[in-house]
Amino acid sequence: MSKLLIVGTVAFDAIETPFGKTDKILGGAATYIGLSASQFDVESAIVSVVGEDFPQEYLDIFRKRNIDISGTEIVKGGKTFFWSGKYHNDLNSRDTLDTQLNVLADFNPVVPEGFKSPDIVMLGNLHPMVQLSVLEQLERPKLVVLDTMNFWMDNTWDDLLKVIAKVDVVTINDEEARQLTNEHSLVRAARKIAEMGPKYVVIKKGEHGALLFHDEQIFFAPALPLEEVFDPTGAGDTFAGGFTGYLAHTGDLSFKNMKNAVIYGSNLASFCVEKFGTERMQELTKEDVHQRLEDFKSLTQFQIKLT
Amino acid sequence: MSKLLIVGTVAFDAIETPFGKTDKILGGAATYIGLSASQFDVESAIVSVVGEDFPQEYLDIFRKRNIDISGTEIVKGGKTFFWSGKYHNDLNSRDTLDTQLNVLADFNPVVPEGFKSPDIVMLGNLHPMVQLSVLEQLERPKLVVLDTMNFWMDNTWDDLLKVIAKVDVVTINDEEARQLTNEHSLVRAARKIAEMGPKYVVIKKGEHGALLFHDEQIFFAPALPLEEVFDPTGAGDTFAGGFTGYLAHTGDLSFKNMKNAVIYGSNLASFCVEKFGTERMQELTKEDVHQRLEDFKSLTQFQIKLT
């Protein structure tokens, strides 16, 4: 079975959307990535850090799904990273209300022995130097995928470029791709990102789908049109988990199969937004995912007899 | 050969985009629809009105493509409808700088004898009562498609609802669908529009593609990701021309074939925006369209072996 190493935050989130408001609930990039990737038969591990306040029942959520959390440090007396945000009415943008780094401030990732030669590494959104330090502990994996955010462009530009140069795939949202490259056209932005190192670029456009770029080839996966998006938190990470989980499961890293991985990413993300936080992802079954694949097929596949 | 009746404006446009500025050039909804539909083997006619100032060379553009313009009235001493607009930097929105209705103010459409029982009617954006008056001159066509705009929602709401009740397909952009239904979710908006009468609803999202709704089925066609959109004017009408031209050509009005029609609509529209006004559409060949169909296939089609 392929090994998937996931690096990222495991956190508490407090979320407000037009539909409601949560107390501190389970969140974090690595959480969403791990839950999403667990829909595939892969051996996965999360390298992260939490505080002593992190409840046993949350740890059990990972263990029950055979996600190795021996590389997730529990800091004695420490407090878990906390993020709080409020979405605007159209759910396309949000304000951060509070960020408490807590144990994340001194996070020094240690990859467990069993995961030092993973097949695929998913570097979730984190300080670029932390992402880099993980890569330095590994034998070169078959594929390294990196997600990042505007925060690191604003604050750690040089470090970010260093880690981008070392990865195979970058997943990034549209506005961040524009910020990173100073190009409005996503086709040009993707080309510029590829010039920084990665052979593949995935640009996530939220409700408008995701684009996969490789050389001069482009593939597009729509988001599933939903009656209601309940809470967009974690959708991008869930996409990344579906993308890397499918690639790890199939072991096929061709561009053709990456198209499928992008479809699976969109598939998984379409569930994530249906309920608050990780709720929908926790109850998700393989049957749900298979059924939704059929929805994606009828949404996008066509048969044209040439005229 | 199937007959396609096109109703809409034939006009002068003056356009300003971040890339440049035109004098009065050929424009109008029926113009774009006609040029686009002429890529298919269909017998088409344009019902419209122009002034005496409308140049012979523009009329020849239609005649050369075997578009019947006997139903396009040339008003002696009249001036052609003129629209002028300026696009914002991201090309997603624009300001209207000038609108001179001229001969359009008294437009009384007369369908030529040979087109009183067309197979398909494309009612381009116009006063809803003008659209209705065309329908009243016809034997019931196999398919009636209507395009409209926010202007008619603001000013002629009741008339608009009357004509919407009589058509099979509505094509409308996302913001207009939201305005028409007071629903943010496009899935819900499409359902509400269908309740007004049309069995099919196409929601155009510009650079974010187009959605086709029918009962509980949804199909999505992306816009082709382009390095540069030069001038979006007419893209929606070009989409409508590709959609109806393909349906008229194939004569197959099943939902399955409407998926193909939406792909052809996006295909044609992707050319329209490459140059100013109708320039790209005038030089377009069937070979170009076939080749771009291959681009759309590699952009959207995938082969997933179930896991």
- Round to whole Å and give the CA distance between A210 and A265: 9
- Round to whole Å and give the CA distance between B122 and B109: 14
Comparing alpha-carbon positions, the chain A residue that sits nearest to B264 is A304
Share of chain A above pLDDT 70, in %: 99
Q: Which residues pair with B48 in a beta bridge?
A: B72
The CA-atom distances, in angstroms, between B129 and each of A10, B123, B126, B152, B164 are 60, 11, 8, 10, 11
pLDDT at B168: 98
- Round to whole Å and give the CA distance between B206 and B204: 6
Exposure string for A279-299, b = 16+ CB within 10 A, e = fewer? bbbeebeeeebeebbeebeeb
Residue A90 has pLDDT above 90, yes or no: no
The CA-atom distances, in angstroms, between B26 and each of A31, B13, B84, B146, B159 are 56, 6, 12, 22, 29
Residue A91 has pLDDT above 90, yes or no: no
- Round to whole Å and give the CA distance between A202 and A189: 11
pLDDT at A89: 84
- Round to whole Å and give the CA distance between A191 and A183: 10
Least confident of A91-95, B116-120, B219-223, B280-284: A91-95
Average pLDDT, integer, range A35-48: 97
pLDDT at B51: 98
The three-state secondary structure class of A179 is helix
Angle, helices B255-272 vs B286-300, to 10°: value is: 110
Residue A232, sorted as left (phi over 0), alpha (psi -120 to 50) or beta, turns out to be alpha
Q: How far is CA B192 from the centre of its chain?
A: 22
pLDDT at B306: 65
pLDDT band for A307, please (50, 70, 90 cuts).
low
Share of chain B above pLDDT 70, in %: 99
Would you list which residues of chain A are within 8 Å, Cβ to Cβ, of chain B? Answer: 40-41, 90, 184-188, 205, 208-209, 211, 217-220, 222, 225-228, 246, 249-250, 256, 259-260, 263, 290, 293, 298-304, 306-307
Q: Encode A288-304 in three state secondary structure.
A: HHHHHHHHHHHHHCCCC
The three-state secondary structure class of A242 is helix
Average pLDDT, integer, range A64-93: 95
ipTM reported for the complex, 2 dp? 0.94
pLDDT at A1: 86
pLDDT at B90: 81
Q: What is the DSSP string of A121-175?
A: EEE-SS-HHHHHHHHHTS---SEEEEE--HHHHHH-HHHHHHHHTT-SEEEEEHH
Q: Residue B22 has which token pair?
A: 């035109």
- Round to whole Å and give the CA distance between B128 and B175: 19
Interface contact flag, B250 A307, Cβ < 8 Å: yes
Q: Which residues of A touch B188 (CB under 8 A)?
A: 227
**Which of A175, A230, A304, A305 to mutate to test binding with chain B, by most B CBs within 10 Å of its CB?**
A304
Least confident of B25-29, B34-38, B62-66, B91-95: B91-95
CB A26 within 8 A of CB A4: no
Tokens 């624009």, residue located: B94
- Round to whole Å and give the CA distance between A25 and A34: 16
Residue A41, sorted as left (phi over 0), alpha (psi -120 to 50) or beta, turns out to be beta
- Round to whole Å and give the CA distance between A98 and A101: 10
- Per-residue pLDDT reduced to its tens digit, A232-253: 999 999 999 999 999 999 999 9
Give the gap in angstroms from C-alpha B160 to the nearest C-alpha of chain A.
25
- Per-residue pLDDT reduced to its tens digit, A188-237: 999 999 999 999 999 999 999 999 999 999 999 999 999 989 999 999 99
**Which of B42, B302, B303, B306 to mutate to test binding with chain A, by most A CBs within 10 Å of its CB?**
B302
Average pLDDT, integer, range B192-205: 98
Give the gap in angstroms from C-alpha A188 to the nearest C-alpha of chain B.
6
- Round to whole Å and give the CA distance between A232 and A27: 12
pLDDT at B224: 97
Tell me which DSSP letter residue A233 carries. Answer: T
Least Cα distance to B27 among B5, B54, B1 occurs for B54
Give the gap in angstroms from C-alpha A260 to the nearest C-alpha of chain B.
6
Mean of all residue pLDDT scores within chain B: 96
Average pLDDT, integer, range B179-200: 97
Average pLDDT, integer, range A77-102: 93
Q: Which residues of B touch A302 (CB under 8 A)?
A: 219, 259-260, 263, 300-301
The count of residues in chain A is: 307
CB A10 within 8 A of CB A74: no
Average pLDDT, integer, range B29-57: 98
pLDDT at B276: 95
Q: Encode B221-272 in three state secondary structure.
A: ECCCCCCCCCCCCCHHHHHHHHHHHHHHHHCCCCHHHHHHHHHHHHHHHHHH
Tell me which DSSP letter residue B140 carries. Answer: -
Interface contact flag, A307 B249, Cβ < 8 Å: yes
pLDDT at B33: 98
How many CB atoms are closer than 10 A to CB A185? 16
How many CB atoms are closer than 10 A to CB A92? 12
Structural domains in chain A plus CATH codes = 3-300 (3.40.1190.20)
pLDDT band for A161, please (50, 70, 90 cuts).
very high
pLDDT band for B307, please (50, 70, 90 cuts).
low
Q: Residue A286 has which token pair?
A: 């393989």
Please give the residue that has the higher pLDDT: either A40 or B306.
Answer: A40
Interface contact flag, A307 B246, Cβ < 8 Å: yes
pLDDT at B41: 92
Comparing alpha-carbon positions, the chain B residue that sits nearest to A304 is B260
Least Cα distance to A202 among A221, A223, A180 occurs for A221
Least Cα distance to B166 among B144, B151, B148 occurs for B144
- Round to whole Å and give the CA distance between A73 and A109: 8
Exposure string for A17-33, b = 16+ CB within 10 A, e = fewer? beeeebebbbbbbbbbb
Average pLDDT, integer, range B87-115: 93
CB B238 within 8 A of CB B223: no
pLDDT at B1: 86
- Per-residue pLDDT reduced to its tens digit, B264-286: 999 999 999 999 999 999 999 99
- Per-residue pLDDT reduced to its tens digit, A267-276: 999 999 999 9
Average pLDDT, integer, range A70-87: 97
Q: Which residues of A touch B290 (CB under 8 A)?
A: 306
CB B40 within 8 A of CB B249: yes
Angle, helices B29-37 vs B235-250, to 10°: value is: 40
DSSP count for chain A of H helices, then E strands: 11, 15
- Round to whole Å and give the CA distance between B297 and A290: 23
